[in-house]
Amino acid sequence: MPTDRLTIFDTTLRDGEQAPGFSMHVDEKVRLARQLARLGVDVIEAGFPIASEADAEAVRRVAAEVRGPVIAGLARCHPADIDRAGLALSPAARRRIHTFIATSDLHLARKLRMTRETCLDAAVAAVRRARRYTDDIQFSAEDATRSDMDFLCRVVEAVIAAGCTTINLPDTVGYSTPDEVAAFFTAIISRVPHSDAVTFSAHCHDDLGLAAANTLAAVCAGARQVECTVNGIGERAGNASLEEVVMATRVRADRLPFTTGIDTAQIFPSSQLLTELTGQAVQANKAIVGRNAFAHEAGIHQDGMLKDRRTYEIMRPEDVGVPQATLVLGKHSGRHAVRRRCEQIGVTLEPQELDQVYTAIVALADREKTVNDKDLAAVVARVRGGAAAAPAAIVPTAVPDFNSTPAEVGYGHGV
């Protein structure tokens, strides 16, 4: 594999699904796994088999029914966990056991109540046991970025010697900054013997809003696997967003010269399917997949978009599977956008009509925030019927009273 090729390790079905409100039934996880395969992820972490019978069954079903990506199962450094993961993954054409243990003194003392030496022994034993089921073994040092560097290097060296093939160094609580992450990965890779024989991986959380930035910093420092989720879902504030990391490498290849196997046109469909399955909507201003990511209301922006979309968009919506950019009609819109939307619904306005329609639309939008195509058509009809003398009084035909709630009138969803 070329050194600039990134492995996309998707943990939507494991870390993502652990987040409150995002749990999925077995059939739903299989359906999403099939979409992740279409998206082109390299590894699907299908679940944590020891956690429950349902999780074990989900991993087994994904392993049996989804082809293409490597299917991974999570396991603590306990023999029972390793065996349960190995059994659940057995139907997979390509399988990986992902075993982990915390390495920070805080976690060792307060959570695990074990010594460093016991931790080291457990990590090595887990990797050796996992090799009974597959040669593809990933080891994660939980809370790696808050671990003692000397001890962490000892653990990484030991698990490599035991047969581990991927080393994941998580920023488990999203505590680090990009410069720290870059220095951290650089130090580990340079200090650990035979580090060139394994793939280093970054798993960053978004507690400070830095997950994607920290992931890219790790990549620039030598990591070649990135762990991420669709829509950035996950524990607490979530994980690094798959769509953000991937599109950063596409849009800024000059600064991030890395490739992936992702079919970016499947990004938005993957986001939409996850929303459908979980019932959890994406925030409107979410990068890449949010409702407003390619929507423009400000008149100056709309004018620029109509002349050359590159003035206000650094990527094309169709590149990520979004049907098209949206010129939202609101109180900030300009005449150019109103005229274009009219043209798109088959209406050509004379200059005087445009002035009247524009004034009426702004007045309506000031009350209802956004105006949809049905509203626009009604306003045009009233203007052409001579009822536009007092714009503030114009109410679109067949639209309920303005005191109705947004849900009742269907507003607030853009145009």
pLDDT digits (tens, 9 = 90+) for 290-302: 988 888 878 888 8
β strands within 232-337, DSSP E: 295-296, 326-327, 329-330
pLDDT at residue 402 tops 50: no
Percent of the chain whose predicted confidence (pLDDT) is above 70: 92
pLDDT of residue 5: 97
> Concatenated DSSP letters for 74-136?
EEESSHHHHHHHHHHTTT-SSEEEEEEEE-SHHHIIIII---HHHHHHHHHHHHHHHTTT-S-
Q: What is the DSSP secondary structure assignment for residue 281, as one 8-state letter?
A: P
How large is the average pLDDT for residues 286-311? 86
pLDDT of residue 403: 33
Q: Assign a CATH topology to domain 7-278.
A: TIM Barrel (3.20.20)
Distance, in Å, from the CA atom of 107 to the CA atom of 98, rounded to the nearest integer, reads 19
How large is the average pLDDT for residues 373-384? 91
Mean pLDDT (the chain, rounded): 90
Say whether 403 sits in a helix, a strand or coil. coil
Distance, in Å, from the CA atom of 305 to the CA atom of 327, rounded to the nearest integer, reads 9
Q: What is the DSSP secondary structure assignment for residue 256, as one 8-state letter?
A: -
Widest pairwise Cα distance in the chain: 85
Q: What is the DSSP secondary structure assignment for residue 286, as one 8-state letter?
A: -
Q: Can you name the residues that pair with 99 across neighbouring β-strands?
A: 75, 139
Distance, in Å, from the CA atom of 409 to the CA atom of 397, rounded to the nearest integer, reads 12
pLDDT digits (tens, 9 = 90+) for 78-130: 999 999 999 999 999 999 999 999 999 999 999 999 999 999 999 999 999 99
pLDDT at residue 408 tops 80: no
Contact 160, 194 (CB under 8 A): yes
Q: Give the model's confidence band at 3: pLDDT under 50 very low, under 70 low, under 90 confident, else very high.
A: low
pLDDT, greater one: 135 or 411: 135
Distance, in Å, from the CA atom of 13 to the CA atom of 347, rounded to the nearest integer, reads 47
pLDDT digits (tens, 9 = 90+) for 313-360: 889 999 999 987 777 888 888 888 899 889 888 889 999 999 999 999
* pLDDT-wise least confident of 106-110, 128-132, 219-223, 404-408: 404-408
Q: What does the radius of gyration of the chain's CA atoms come to, in whole angstroms?
A: 26
Q: Which residue has the tokens 């999780």?
A: 55
346 sits in the region (left: phi over 0; alpha: psi -120 to 50; else beta) called left
Say whether 150 sits in a helix, a strand or coil. helix
